[in-house]
Amino acid sequence: MPCMLSKPGRRNIRAGKKELAKLVEHAQDRKAQGWYISKGDFTSDALSYAIEQGVYVSDEAGLQELKKGTLKIGQIENFYH
């Protein structure tokens, strides 16, 4: 699963469609599912694009939920819907 992290030092900066499009390209090249992890948040355009392209997205809070085991992998698709 290709995974892309937001750049270090970009905390609280919203990831946009442009960043997700790079991940989608890499995932499609590898015939894989993409997952974008951001220390900040996502723009509404980025979330819409992620839904359209079937890309998983997580922010820092979502990762903490995964770590604690309170958010299961199967719920990720609906996490931002």
For the cut 70, the answer to whether the pLDDT of residue 77 exceeds it is: no
Overall average pLDDT of the 39-61 stretch: 91
pTM score: 0.70
Stretch 19-27: mean pLDDT: 93
Higher confidence at residue 66 or residue 28? 28
Q: 46 falls in which pLDDT band (50, 70, 90)?
A: very high
User: What does the DSSP assignment read for the chain?
Assistant: --EEEPPTT-TTPPB-HHHHHHHHHHHHHTT---EEEESS-B-HHHHHHHHHHT-EEEEHHHHHHHHHTSS-GGGHHHHT-
Task: Answer yes or no: is pLDDT of 68 > 50.
Answer: yes
Examine the pLDDT at 13 and tell me if it is beyond 60: yes
